[in-house]
Structure 1
């Protein structure tokens, strides 16, 4: 009992010391103000105040430590941290208050800030991703979408100069963005929430002014007031993505390629009623005389048949509802419940011809998407082009671990996030209030900007994809690099529709011939004068795209 009372007494003593310290800080500040009589006195006092405050901090620390040590009293780590933060906060407050009182520079008038949702669109080719990134020592700040947006807001006065030095404080962080996009990934619609100044003297059309300060490949569709509790990340119910790819990716592997050989050998080793046959695309030519250049001309002229389209549409429906997507992201424990994702609807549109090439668009509407969702598209396309039964997707979404590579980043596009829950909530909040009511909040609806968004999408995203494919042959190089693989990692692509033991990954196992991905297929932009075709078989160790080991928090922040 005595020990408990002793601890309580000395804890009270520590808190009283802080109280005494606070009064001394206030006294020092008031004394300093009352004694200034000239610029010289003011300068001397300004120099002395921090010293006095430091002495007060040191005195408080010493006496608290001495008292605690004499009675074997010790604060918890949490309490110690709190005491340190309190001392630091009081010291900083006293300093800043003194500087503010003595400053000869008049402060700008404080304009009211409002919690807003900013709806934006961008072509991500020239940027290092959506999220603001601080500059590393000796290096320039990475160019990001949020970084460009923040600079534009400062330029027009929507962010005050007081907050101009800290983008994260002003709202540029993962929690304020509806969907994070990786480097090079495009978004025709995304949403950022932050506090901003919406009524600026001399500015009649704030949206136009902000757009005039943004690069042409980033657009602000609009902004609107939202509730104070609004959080773009938490309030986002779902996201819509689209993946575009040339239809010729559905042509089976070229006879004699590594993948063709492995799959033929596996089919021959199984007692199957179905035989592995050459596709008419390849049987129509002499393979020995066929070159990648000649093949490319024929691929661009190739068109998908109704059976190809039907097969794609049938397979993509396997992803709908809730499944375990551990194989479709970076290495994860298959039993981790956070691997489960709900896919609401996936659809394959009718193919369209751009230039000489036919393209497919696959729309993915899901609650959220894990890092490297392009792996979903790899499995879909490879299953369709190899004749693998779609039932294999059930195994790929089971606890079995396999290697599923990524599709090229060039084809991925975020259409827009969805805020159904928030819109329902504010509909009740608005009740019968007219839109002119200051408390009225509009629902978040990207459809209001559909015409502008579609024009931007065509000019800055679709046309860009087509130009890169025409100049660089990126998708063709990618599919030829996949077909050149002759190991066992992709043996789940077989006519039986099951994952054979040789394709299963085991924890800690060193694979004899692992499938390796290339960094070039993560790119979505190339120099305008770079017309050299991407080579399918040009390899060096620096080109290998290795997956990072990310923590759960990092993986969560990386989700879209």
Structure 2
């Protein structure tokens, strides 16, 4: 028996294949010193392991390795060589360390650790704000108990004078929705938890109106508390919190997916104007001279202005603007003019590219394509001394200033004898300038929801009106009597009063007639688009038409001369409405 077999206690080392630096001798020595204590008393119970990693039964012959032999054994050399090769291979296949990635990962880990703390901090701030709102509400006697909300459609009407449009705005700007939302909170239809942000109740409107524009009917959708404890008539309760120029006609429960803007099929607007706007320009006005010099080659050529009975009166040649205004109020439109109006508006019907009838839109922008279902000119009606004409617009949707520019195209064309063929030229790629008619004459009649009403009518066939799933139609006709009374008292009265006191529409048409530039050369009997009036990108226009801001307003002091003073100040200061610049999101928000 060899000396190794006579050892009372044997410890055999399994060589680590990943150890690349240690020699076989040093590995044995290190293993022996490290395991001396742990091997004591346990060697008899362990399976012996030979150098190559194979187990053997206790008492079997041991390999011929002497303690401290210096690694001369062949098995140890072979194992060491194998382990070195494996270690080198592993080292070569290990990917290189990316220090930047390590730093980014470390930073990301820190951020992840901070997230719960940030969420806790945000939650505490929200809780503090909620407690503050609750305390304020309780001090005002407003209930803070949370009640279930239901998706609802509010049917409203308003006089827009003094308001910065329909849509809710930040920073306390006075808009119709701002005032309406505050009233809903005070009435308990919106909880204190949602009082700080209308987005929480999914507020949306069917049609957006510009500053000062009125609406006999509009629809606002939101998630609303429809059963307020202690309130028998919620509509009357909300109206008590609203100013008299904003009215809630009623509300209906709607489907949960209902959004007033997205579900709305079409909108109806009416534009009112005094019929005297159709009188041709005064023969000695700048506009009359420019148009006839451009299209006839001579100012002396007879024009619609010189032939019109209104200007054939001998007293008209040296009459003051005030004297002309008195005569204009007595003007009454004839059958020929009405026929021309009705023929012209038919050119607007159908689907067209209305890029020249809005602002900040390129010809190739697909959103310029709009569908006009019907445009109708109503018979003239006399109120006081002034005859008024109403034009009804029914379209799927409208862009910013679209109706006011369409009306200017209609009125200016008819008063200058321009061919209706010009409208088709305005749909083409060339860009021209069309002024805006005053805001005062524009009224949103109502949005329509025919498709939605058809769907709910079909769903309601198997339901009773008391069924929780029953959904009424959105119908302004149920409130027509109240709406007509409101229009007469708050809208028509305001419109006619401003015109009677200040002659707003006459001031507008005088500002057009005083223009001596080339922007309006598209007004001609041939219905052609002269090159001189085409606007080209990057080229500065000489003597561009300057629109006055006063015509964007519908709220004026009772002073009769106020508008005249405003115009004088604007002209003296050379003020003008700068070209409006919008991004796509802003343009989308201006649609109605």
TM-score category, normalised to shorter length: 0.7 to 0.9
C-alpha distance 227-286 of structure 1, shift in aligned 2 (>3 A): same
| Distance in 1, Cα, partners of 2:276 & 2:468 | 55
**Which range moved further: 204-213 or 162-171?**
162-171
C-alpha distance 529-296 of structure 1, shift in aligned 2 (>3 A): closer
C-alpha distance 519-85 of structure 1, shift in aligned 2 (>3 A): farther
For this pair of structures, how many residues does the alignment match?
480
Q: TM-score, normalised by structure 1?
A: 0.80
SS in 2 for 1:543: coil
Matched residue, 2:228: 200
| Distance in 1, Cα, partners of 2:200 & 2:469 | 26
1:230 has 2:258 as partner: yes
C-alpha distance 418-97 of structure 1, shift in aligned 2 (>3 A): closer
Matched residue, 2:17: none
1:91 has 2:116 as partner: no
C-alpha distance 402-111 of structure 1, shift in aligned 2 (>3 A): same
Matched residue, 1:151: 182
Matched residue, 1:10: none
SS in 2 for 1:289: coil
| Distance in 2, Cα, partners of 1:409 & 1:400 | 26
1:128 has 2:164 as partner: yes
| Distance in 1, Cα, partners of 2:371 & 2:551 | 28
1:94-105 residue pairs with structure 2 within 5 A?
95=124
| Distance in 2, Cα, partners of 1:85 & 1:396 | 59
* Conserved 8 A contact 2:556-2:562: no
| Distance in 2, Cα, partners of 1:108 & 1:169 | 16
Matched residue, 1:367: 396
Q: Please state how far the C-alpha of 1:339 moved relative to its aligned partner.
A: 0.6
What is the aligned-residue RMSD (CA, Å)?
Answer: 2.9
1:467 has 2:503 as partner: no
1:387 has 2:423 as partner: no
Deviations 1:73-113, CA, capped at 9 Å, x for gaps: 968xxx99x9799657743587489989x999999432111
1:187 has 2:191 as partner: no
| Distance in 2, Cα, partners of 1:519 & 1:71 | 58
Matched residue, 2:45: none
* Conserved 8 A contact 1:267-1:275: no
Q: TM-score, normalised by structure 2?
A: 0.76
1:559 has 2:591 as partner: yes
Given the alignment, which residue of 247, 251, 254 partners 2:282? 254
Q: Please state how far the C-alpha of 1:547 moved relative to its aligned partner.
A: 2.7
**Which range moved further: 276-285 or 297-306?**
276-285
Matched residue, 2:575: 543
Matched residue, 1:54: none
Matched residue, 2:350: 321
| Distance in 2, Cα, partners of 1:275 & 1:438 | 68
Matched residue, 1:290: 319
1:7-406 residue pairs with structure 2 within 5 A?
71=101, 87=116, 90-91=119-120, 95=124, 108-135=144-171, 141-172=172-203, 176-269=204-297, 277-373=306-402, 374-406=404-436
User: Unpaired segments of 5 or more residues in structure 2?
Assistant: 1-96
| Distance in 2, Cα, partners of 1:549 & 1:443 | 39
C-alpha distance 71-461 of structure 1, shift in aligned 2 (>3 A): closer
Q: Larger Cα Rg: Structure 1 or Structure 2? A: 2
| Distance in 1, Cα, partners of 2:98 & 2:120 | 23
SS in 2 for 1:126: coil
Q: Please state how far the C-alpha of 1:396 moved relative to its aligned partner.
A: 0.8
Deviations 1:288-347, CA, capped at 9 Å, x for gaps: 311101100110000000111111011001110100010111131111111110000000
Q: Please state how far the C-alpha of 1:278 moved relative to its aligned partner.
A: 2.9
1:425 has 2:455 as partner: yes
* Conserved 8 A contact 1:255-1:278: no
Q: Which has the higher contact order (CA 8 A, sep 6+)?
A: 1
